[in-house]
Amino acid sequence: MKFAVIVFPGSNCDRDMYHAVKDVLKTEADLVWYEGSNLENYDGILLPGGFSYGDYLRCGAVASTSDIMKQIKVHAAKGKPVLGVCNGFQILTEAGLLPGALLRNEKLSFMCHQEPLVVENNETIFTAAYDKGEVVHFPIAHGEGNYFCDEETLKELKANNQIVFTYQNNPNGSVEDIAGIMNKQGNVLGMMPHPERAVEQLLGSDDGLRLFQSMIQNWRDMYAANA
């Protein structure tokens, strides 16, 4: 499997994401600058955290209008996996690939610490290696991670089992403790916590490994089925 780690002006978690898939998981990956790049030959797209375009207007708003997002939408429409973490999640909501929005944290402060999450849905290409209801530990690092959606959207998320991760302690005020959601098709996941920063016990947790391993195993299964 070959990953594209998208780099925008202001991205600062791109090297973490690249290290997780390239160095720890030993799979193919490239850092892909947002201008003038072709995503046709990549199997998975990773949108890392950071402050794309300095978070002007709204977090992720400017990046969501970039030309590379047109390619990512085509990639997603083909059923290929797209993972957006932190600012990447914000970009996915701004681009309309995921519903809802990320608001300022409830206490209006930047948060950076390890956070326990609950795996709500393990029947996805991102979470197949986890158990349903399992508590995992990923770091958070955000000032605008308060997930919000209206009642109708929330009902739809629940009905379609699109809520993938919830916070055990809800540090930022997100509606229904939501930490990560996916699209209806199940191939686009956005989450505020950082699985790429939880791939080595040296960093306090390697619970994030299984998210990337789930993606890789799903790709292998699809490849074998089509061989």
Tokens of 86: 């932190």
SS3 176: helix
Report the pLDDT value the prediction gives residue 162, as an integer from 0 to 100. 98
168-221 pLDDT tens trace: 999 999 999 999 999 999 999 999 999 999 999 998 999 999 999 999 999 989
Say which residue, 55 or 80, is predicted with more confidence. 80
Domains (range + CATH), the chain = 2-226 (3.40.50.880)
The single residue of 13, 59, 86, 149 carrying the catalytic annotation is: 86
99-158 pLDDT tens trace: 999 999 998 899 999 999 999 999 999 999 999 999 999 999 999 999 999 999 999 999
Active-site annotation holds for 13: no
- Provide the whole-model pTM: 0.96
User: Does the pLDDT value for residue 57 go beyond 90?
Assistant: no
d(CA 97, CA 76): 8
Active-site annotation holds for 194: yes
Q: Are 32 and 39 in contact (CB under 8 A)?
A: yes
User: Does the pLDDT value for residue 84 go beyond 60?
Assistant: yes
Provide the edge-to-edge strand list for the sheet that holds 188-191: 28-33, 2-7, 44-47, 82-85, 188-191, 178-182, 163-167, 111-119, 135-142
